[in-house]
């Protein structure tokens, strides 16, 4: 347990250090200026203690001599000096608050952008093993703890440390003996802070993780409300939520129990210390003990009174420091999660072959150009120094003896070979989990193969830069994702530079133009919540139009018509037939009617291709495909 606590503290402080390094890195001038303002105003708040002894001496002299004029002449310079310092302190505090407001929001803005950019570079595997709510917690709870660190905890910490150091120096100036007594009590404070603060660190880290888990569960339940209600699963969902929520309550209670205990204990140690100092000081005066101080002044009531005031200020700020431990530990827990995200290994991409626009001479020579010509080629710089070659983008895809597994202990594909020549339509059929979608995921390199080769136009796809590889592929997934925005913007997502006319033509090709024009604002109709106001079939049609506007040489249709009724499917099929002309197409479908006209049909079973050939050939063989087609077997 002790080792775990130390490890949590070490990781927390490392994350806090990383956060502060980022903060000062973003604002190398403004941040130090704000810190200077904090230090200045803090030190000024400790200065009055220096003058109290002098003022008390002047008042004592006034009562003894009755010379008010002389006393006033001595007191007024102190008053003028203090007023001047406090005016400067107010100005510095005002500047500091404005600077911190600007820097805090700027820091959060930059951190969110950095997190989002880093997240774009993460592999698909990362998102496969995490809930959406857990990921969203990075941008809500975790980033908010970092806000508290830089905008509240850091300024308070610097302010309290500055006051403690300044007051300690002044107390040493007044009396070394009394300061030593004070430091004994402060040592007890730090011991308590270390013990309780260390205990709270462990639970604050667990609380951050439990919060993310609870948000992930809640988000999952919200997305599945229809399923929950259809199966009358409300009570079980509530029970499951209670379990996750109770876990959060327990760790949060323990974290805050530690944190809430710290303040009162430190405060009462401060009270005891104040009484102890008063008694010790009284004994010193009565016993006429010689004062040991940096100033050389005698120990009397004019020293004891300001010293007791300073001890209050000192212990109060030590207490403030201990209270900041809670928020710092919490900030460290959030920063630790963000640091884990930022340190995640990005998607590896060692590709150097890129996709470029080209023009073609009469003799077939290709020339690279910046203009969009509708003709593409692979720009292949050879590592042996033989120069650069340009290979026309044709859509020739070949998989040879491919093995793959999502987890090392469970292989998904076994010795799979697929050959798709330019313009061919290749279909995959088989039961759920047979490996159909996995094959297409390997073609676009969402995952990398364990063994074998995949070549695209004769080039190993590991040599092709992933962004260029995916730009050459048009994909319509089984699960449609539409973004908040207009219908036109969602179609243009396939190719951002596409004109309105090209987007409309793509919608017509997909068979989506008819229903889009009947929407309230047509192509300018706003879609929200993944297009919830549209039917599943309409959403799929927009997704097909989005793929069509990209105009890629290779299309992957993963159950593209699975959510469309038979009548709509006929409309979509006509559009897709036009879309597929001259392109290499990979089709995954449960409805065998959609794959009958494929050039090659491959039947998969448990990650192996057990049959391949045209519809007529497979029917003649009367194997698995024949039994599926005639209804003797079911796909599921």
Over the stretch 539-594, which tens digit does the pLDDT of each residue have?
888 888 888 888 888 888 887 666 666 676 676 677 677 777 778 888 887 777 77
Average the pLDDT over each of 35-39, 272-276, 327-331, 602-606 and give the range with the smallest value.
327-331
Q: How far is residue 597's CA from residue 584's CA, in Å, rounded to a whole number? A: 14
Q: How far is residue 335's CA from residue 442's CA, in Å, rounded to a whole number? A: 35
Q: How far is residue 573's CA from residue 595's CA, in Å, rounded to a whole number? A: 11
For the record, the structure tokens of 42 come out as 């803090």
Residue 416 has phi, psi (to 5 degrees) of -90, 130
Query: In the predicted model, what is the mean pLDDT of the chain?
Result: 81
Q: Give me the pLDDT at residue 635, please.
A: 46
Q: How far is residue 50's CA from residue 47's CA, in Å, rounded to a whole number? A: 5
Q: Give me the pLDDT at residue 63, please.
A: 64
**Which of the four pLDDT bands, split at 50, 70 and 90, describes residue 53?**
low
Instruction: Give the rounded percent of residues in the chain with a pLDDT score beyond 90.
Output: 13
User: Rounded mean pLDDT of 375-386?
Assistant: 84
Does the structure show a pLDDT above 60 at 206? yes
Q: Can you say whether the dihedral through the CA atoms of 474, 476, 477, 479 is positive or negative?
A: positive
Q: Give me the pLDDT at residue 376, please.
A: 87
**Which of the four pLDDT bands, split at 50, 70 and 90, describes residue 290?**
low
Q: How far is residue 330's CA from residue 143's CA, in Å, rounded to a whole number? A: 11
**Which of the four pLDDT bands, split at 50, 70 and 90, describes residue 403?**
very high
Q: Rounded to two decimals, what is the model's pTM?
A: 0.71
Q: Give me the pLDDT at residue 561, please.
A: 67
User: Rounded mean pLDDT of 42-62?
Assistant: 68
Q: How far is residue 242's CA from residue 21's CA, in Å, rounded to a whole number? A: 39
Q: Give me the pLDDT at residue 24, please.
A: 92
**Which of the four pLDDT bands, split at 50, 70 and 90, describes residue 8?**
low
- Across-strand partners of 558? 588
Residues of the chain with CATH 1.20.1560.10: 2-342
DSSP, collapsed to helix, strand or coil, labels residue 272 as: helix
Of residues 260, 224, 259, 265, the one with CA closest to residue 241: 224
Average the pLDDT over each of 91-95, 124-128, 208-212, 331-335 and give the range with the smallest value.
208-212
User: Rounded mean pLDDT of 47-54?
Assistant: 65
User: Rounded mean pLDDT of 153-169?
Assistant: 85
User: Going by CATH, does the domain composed of 2-342 fall within 1.20.1560.10?
Assistant: yes
DSSP, collapsed to helix, strand or coil, labels residue 363 as: coil
Neighbours of 53 (CB within 10 A): 22
Greater confidence, 360 or 354?
354
- DSSP states along 404-415: E-SBTTB--EEE
Q: Can you say whether the dihedral through the CA atoms of 83, 89, 94, 97 is positive or negative?
A: negative
Integer CA distances (angstroms), 472 to 43, 138, 573, 632, in order: 64, 33, 22, 39
Q: Give me the pLDDT at residue 55, please.
A: 64
Of residues 332, 315, 262, the one with CA closest to residue 9: 332
């Amino acid at each position: 347990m002790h080792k775990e606590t130390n490890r949590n503290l070490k990781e927390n402080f490392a994350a806090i250090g990383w956060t502060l390094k980022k903060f000062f890195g973003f604002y190398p001038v403004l941040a130090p200026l704000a810190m200077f303002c904090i230090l200045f105003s803090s030190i000024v708040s400790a200065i009055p203690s220096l003058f109290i002894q002098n003022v008390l001496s002047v008042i004592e002299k006034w009562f003894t001599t009755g010379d008010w004029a002389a006393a006033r002449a001595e007191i007024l310079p102190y008053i003028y000096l203090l007023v001047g310092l406090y005016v400067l302190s107010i100005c510095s505090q005002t500047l500091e608050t404005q600077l911190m407001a600007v820097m805090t929001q700027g820091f959060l803005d930059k951190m969110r952008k950095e997190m989002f950019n880093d997240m774009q570079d993460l592999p698909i595997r990362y998102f496969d093993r995490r809930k959406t709510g857990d990921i969203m917690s990075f941008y809500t709870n975790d980033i908010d703890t970092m806000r508290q660190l830089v905008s509240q905890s850091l300024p308070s910490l610097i302010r309290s440390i500055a006051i403690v150091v300044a007051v300690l120096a002044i107390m040493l100036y007044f009396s070394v003996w009394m300061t030593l007594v004070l430091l004994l009590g402060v040592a007890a404070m730090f011991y308590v802070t270390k013990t309780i603060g260390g205990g709270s660190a462990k639970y604050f880290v667990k609380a951050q993780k439990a919060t993310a888990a609870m948000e992930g569960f809640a988000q999952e339940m919200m997305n599945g409300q229809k399923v929950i209600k259809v199966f009358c699963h409300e009570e079980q969902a509530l029970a499951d939520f209670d379990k996750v929520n109770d876990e959060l309550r327990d760790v949060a209670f323990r974290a805050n129990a530690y944190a809430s205990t710290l303040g009162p204990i430190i405060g009462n140690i401060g009270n005891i210390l104040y009484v102890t100092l008063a008694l010790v000081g009284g004994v010193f005066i009565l016993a006429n003990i010689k004062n040991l101080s940096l100033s050389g002044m005698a120990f009397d009531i004019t020293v004891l009174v300001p010293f007791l005031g300073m001890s209050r200020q000192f212990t109060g700020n030590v207490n403030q420091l201990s209270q900041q431990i809670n928020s710092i530990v919490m900030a460290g827990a959030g920063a630790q999660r963000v640091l884990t995200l930022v340190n995640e290994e990005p998607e590896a991409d060692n590709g150097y072959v890129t996709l470029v626009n080209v023009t073609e001479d009469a003799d077939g020579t290709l020339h690279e150009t910046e203009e969009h010509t509708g003709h593409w080629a692979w720009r292949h710089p050879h590592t042996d120094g033989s120069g650069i070659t340009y290979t026309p983008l044709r859509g020739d895809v070949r998989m040879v003896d491919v093995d793959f597994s999502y987890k090392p202990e469970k292989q998904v594909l076994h010795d799979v070979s697929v050959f798709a020549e330019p313009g061919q339509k290749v279909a995959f059929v088989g039961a759920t989990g047979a490996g159909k979608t996995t094959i297409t995921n390997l073609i676009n390199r969402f995952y990398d193969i364990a063994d074998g080769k995949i070549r695209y136009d004769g080039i190993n796809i590991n040599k092709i830069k992933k962004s260029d590889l995916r730009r050459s592929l048009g994909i319509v997934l089984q699960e449609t994702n539409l973004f908040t925005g207009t219908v036109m913007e969602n179609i243009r997502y396939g190719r951002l530079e596409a004109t309105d006319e090209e987007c409309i033509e793509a919608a017509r090709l997909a068979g989506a133009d008819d229903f889009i024009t009947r929407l309230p604002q047509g192509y300018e109709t706003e879609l929200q919540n993944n297009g919830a106001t549209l039917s599943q079939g309409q959403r799929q049609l927009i997704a097909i139009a989005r793929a069509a506007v990209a105009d890629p040489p290779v299309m992957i249709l993963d159950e593209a018509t699975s959510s469309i009724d038979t009548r709509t499917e006929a409309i979509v099929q006509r559009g897709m037939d036009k879309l597929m002309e001259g392109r290499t197409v990979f089709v995954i479908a449960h409805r065998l009617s959609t794959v009958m006209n494929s050039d090659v049909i491959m039947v998969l079973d448990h990650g192996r291709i057990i049959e391949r050939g045209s519809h007529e050939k497979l029917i003649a063989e009367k194997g698995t495909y024949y039994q599926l087609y005639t209804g003797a077997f079911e796909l599921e």
